[in-house]
Amino acid sequence: MGNPSDGAPQHGGTVATAGQAGGVFEDPGIPPHRLRLSDTDPKAAKRAERQVTALFIISVIGTVVFLVSYFAIDLGPTSTVDTIRTQNILLGLSTAFAMLGIGTGIVHWAKSLMPDHEVSEARHAVRNEDDRQAAVKIVDDIIEETGIKRRPLIRNTLIGALALAPLPALAVFGDLGPNATDILRHTMWAPNAQTGKKVRLTRDPDGTPIRAADVTIGSAFHVIPEGLNDLKENRNNEKAKAVVLLMRLNPEDLHISPGRETWSYNGIVAYSKICTHVGCPVALYEQQTHHLLCPCHQSTFDLTHECQVIFGPASRPLPQLPIEVDSDGYLVATSDFHEPVGPSYWEREYS
Amino acid sequence: MKSLSQKRRHPLAVVALLVMGLLLTGALYSVASSANKAKADTGFSAADVTAGQKLFVANCATCHGMGAQGSPAAPSLVGVGAAAVDFQVGTGRMPMAANGPQAEQKPAQFNDTQTRQLAAYVASLGAGPSLPDPAMTDGQGDATHGGELFRVNCAMCHNAAAAGGALTRGKFAPPLAGVTAQHIYEAMETGPQNMPVFSDANISPEGKRDIITYLQTIEKQGSPGGAELGGLGPVSEGLFMWVAGLGVIIAFTIWLTSRTS
């Protein structure tokens, strides 16, 4: 088989000749052309033409149905879910038929009516060894002519300049966005800085305060800080940090570690609802096993052991909110969380 | 009166005084406890309680104890109230078929009358949540507010479309479609098995009524998007797309690359 780089047209089939002297594969060539039904029978060709036309008409009908159902179905104030469902189904089906009609029509047209003669295309020629060595020589010549090996001062200063050049970019990137440390460290649970007034625990979504007596054993309350519903801006961001789950257990079931003795009230405990894995709301409370389950990745926290992780990918217990009862009998937070809530972030361990 | 004051030093005077004191205490106690009882089991007759006790001894006492005081196998039923009995027995969860991760719903073993009698007996043991007021289970509340309460308090376990969901170690929150309004109300009030209690201090009776209205509304009107595929979200939808969607793509690929006859 001659030199593959001579550019002469080749029929495929032989891949390599090295080491196969005398054992060359026979080029099987192109199989004989097989005529289609529509090539020989004019009736079949006519039938295929009609089929393609029908598919295109189906597409047209689909488009018309889409426009009609979009504009003619009234979704005014009197519409019901039934109306919405009807429109959704019509829009989906008509779009499908509009697109599929064009696509299948074109493919059917190409397969049955357009010419289908086989074409053989030659493989691109592979470059020969001389060309490769010539390229290597050009690179070597350039290195030689720049004299970079003979003039180390130039080389070293160039390396230094290249190493320093990205620094301005780093400095600019450092200023992108505020440092998240402080925002994530504080929530609405912190007592008022001026008056020292402690924040009441209120029901989500109504915002009504909760008495300790309301929290019967086995209860689970979904809690937001007092005043959250009055926020004009950033309400959702504040809520995402401050949501708390409030539960009451038999006090003897709780295993309280030193330093947290005053954080609960007669078996009532409050924990952040934000999972320490990636921040899903952990709110699946099982009142007999006292497990808290995160629905996203099945992290399971043991409420009786201060929400230690007993299963799943979370790496830290849920932060506990220290609570007490104020003079009116309502539950209040004595302080903010003692650690940032939610998943890990870069500056979490450094304050 | 003179004779009485003369007899105050009689040797039997102390005994008479003791008897009088005991009688007074007993009378006061019976008044107080009947007031308590009236609060605990409104609407149950003494015959209901007696019939319920017979049913209880025959069917429940093996695990819950002769006086419903509980045993290592089952909790005490003193103070769980009529609502808990109506829910557990009315949905067939009790009597339990076998010990498992949780008692599962099955065809009820007792008819309505027997369930009522059992509830009457358990309610007579101590004050607890009573059967809900029919006005709170009529499904005529505010579905929008109910939806908000449902998403905050219930959807994490029971799924946003109330289709149910998995919990830890084989337990699960059941789907809520087809559950009667009364049973939904009782479940919220009593917290059966691992479900937390949502007492009236947490979700008011009107709030519970709104939640029931919301559940009935979404069950009645169906999904706005067509086929719900069980309302289970990415699990069933993903399965459908992997099987049906990829199947269609493979079929088209085969058609595209085949030769026309």
CATH architecture of A183-333: 3-layer Sandwich (2.102)
When pLDDT is cut at 50, 70 and 90, the band that residue A96 belongs to is very high
> Is residue B209 assigned to a domain?
yes
Name the DSSP class of A211: B
Q: Are residues B110 and B92 in the same domain?
A: yes
What DSSP string describes chain B? -HHHHHGGGSTTHHHHHHHHHHHHHHHHHHHHHHHHHHHHSTT--HHHHHHHHHHHHHHTHHHH-TTS--BTTB---TT-HHHHHHHHHHTT-SS-SS-SSSPPP-S-SS-HHHHHHHHHHHHHHS----PPPGGGGSS-S-HHHHHHHHHHHTHHHH-TTS--EE-STT-EEPP-TT--HHHHHHHHHH--TTSPB--TTTS-HHHHHHHHHHHHHHHHH--TTS--GGG-THHHHHHHIIIIIHHHHHHHHHHHHSPP-
Contact B255 A291 (CB under 8 A): no
When pLDDT is cut at 50, 70 and 90, the band that residue B208 belongs to is very high
Is residue B191 scored above 50 in pLDDT?
A: yes
CA distance B191 to chain A (A): 7
Q: What is the amino acid identity at position A2?
A: G
Query: Each residue of B180-195: b (16+ CB within 10 Å) or e?
Result: ebbbbbbbbbbbbbbb
Is residue A23 scored above 80 in pLDDT?
A: no
**Averaged pLDDT for residues B243-261:** 91
Better-predicted residue by pLDDT, A310 or A127: A310
CA–CA separation, B195 and B157 (whole Å): 9
CA distance A22 to chain B (A): 37
Phi, psi of A177 (to 5 degrees): 75, 155
Among residues B103, B125, B147, the one where a domain terminates is: B125
**Averaged pLDDT for residues A209-238:** 92
Better-predicted residue by pLDDT, B173 or B259: B173
Q: What percent of chain A has pLDDT over 90?
A: 59
> Is residue B142 assigned to a domain?
yes
**Total beta-carbon pairs less than 8 A apart between chain A and chain B:** 95
Is residue A351 scored above 60 in pLDDT?
A: no
Tokens of A315: 């790496």
Domain of B195, CATH number, reads 1.10.760.10
> Is residue B233 assigned to a domain?
no
What is the structure's pLDDT at B2? Answer: 56
Contact A286 B165 (CB under 8 A): no
Chain B CB within 8 Å of residue A300 CB:
yes
What is the structure's pLDDT at B228? Answer: 83
When pLDDT is cut at 50, 70 and 90, the band that residue A220 belongs to is very high
When pLDDT is cut at 50, 70 and 90, the band that residue A179 belongs to is low
What is the structure's pLDDT at A19? Answer: 47
- The rounded mean pLDDT for chain B is 86
What is the structure's pLDDT at B67? Answer: 85
Domain residue limits at B193: 134-224
> Is residue B102 assigned to a domain?
yes
- The rounded mean pLDDT for chain A is 87
> Which range is most confident: A17-21, A168-172, B257-261?
A168-172
Is residue A161 scored above 80 in pLDDT?
A: yes
CA–CA separation, B245 and B253 (whole Å): 13
**Averaged pLDDT for residues B125-148:** 91
Contact A216 B201 (CB under 8 A): yes
Tokens of A340: 């940032």
CA–CA separation, B221 and B143 (whole Å): 12
Residue found by looking up tokens 């650690």 in the block: A339
**Averaged pLDDT for residues B144-167:** 91
pLDDT digits (tens, 9 = 90+) for A245-258: 999 999 999 999 99
Chain A CB within 8 Å of residue B36 CB:
no
Contact A293 B168 (CB under 8 A): yes
Q: Chain A contacts of B103, Cβ < 8 Å?
A: none
Is residue A93 scored above 70 in pLDDT?
A: yes
pLDDT digits (tens, 9 = 90+) for B17-72: 788 888 887 777 665 554 444 344 457 888 899 999 999 999 999 899 888 888 88
Count of beta carbons in the 10 Å neighbourhood of residue A350? 6
- For B178, how many CA atoms within 13 A lie in the half-sphere containing its CB? 6
The structural domain count of chain B equals 2
What is the structure's pLDDT at A128? Answer: 81
Q: What is the amino acid identity at position A213?
A: A
The residues with which A309 forms a beta bridge, in sequence order, are: A301
Count of beta carbons in the 10 Å neighbourhood of residue B232? 17
Q: Are residues B163 and B104 in the same domain?
A: no
Q: Decide: A69 and A91 in contact? Cβ < 8 Å.
A: yes
What is the structure's pLDDT at A22? Answer: 59
For residue A310, the chain B residue with the least C-alpha distance is B168
> Is residue B159 assigned to a domain?
yes
CA–CA separation, B146 and B208 (whole Å): 7
> Is residue B146 assigned to a domain?
yes
Chain A CB within 8 Å of residue B256 CB:
yes
When pLDDT is cut at 50, 70 and 90, the band that residue A8 belongs to is very low
Chain A CB within 8 Å of residue B149 CB:
yes
- Burial class from Cβ neighbours inside 10 Å (0-12, 13-18, 19+) for residue A246 reads buried
Please report, for chain A, the start and end positions of each structural domain, with discontinuous segments joined by +. Answer: 37-112, 129-174, 183-333
Is residue A52 scored above 50 in pLDDT?
A: yes
When pLDDT is cut at 50, 70 and 90, the band that residue B14 belongs to is confident
> Is residue B18 assigned to a domain?
no
Name the DSSP class of A318: P
pLDDT digits (tens, 9 = 90+) for A292-330: 999 889 999 999 999 999 999 999 999 999 999 999 999
Q: Are residues B138 and B217 in the same domain?
A: yes
Closest by CA position to A231, among listed A222, A239, A223: A239
Residue found by looking up tokens 């793509």 in the block: B249
Count of beta carbons in the 10 Å neighbourhood of residue A30? 12
pLDDT digits (tens, 9 = 90+) for A259-279: 999 999 999 999 999 999 999
Tokens of A147: 């004299």
What is the structure's pLDDT at A1? Answer: 39
Contact A218 B157 (CB under 8 A): no
Q: Chain B contacts of A311, Cβ < 8 Å?
A: 168
CA–CA separation, A244 and A274 (whole Å): 8
Closest by CA position to B166, among listed A247, A300, A148, A327: A300
Chain B CB within 8 Å of residue A44 CB:
no
**Averaged pLDDT for residues B111-117:** 91
Name the DSSP class of A285: E
Q: Are residues B109 and B143 in the same domain?
A: no
Q: Are residues B90 and B152 in the same domain?
A: no
Nearest CB among B171, B201, B259 relative to A214 is that of: B201
Residue found by looking up tokens 């799924």 in the block: B159
Q: Are residues B114 and B145 in the same domain?
A: no
CA–CA separation, A312 and A317 (whole Å): 12
What is the structure's pLDDT at B72? Answer: 87
Is residue A13 scored above 80 in pLDDT?
A: no
Q: Decide: A284 and A299 in contact? Cβ < 8 Å.
A: no
CA distance A85 to chain B (A): 4
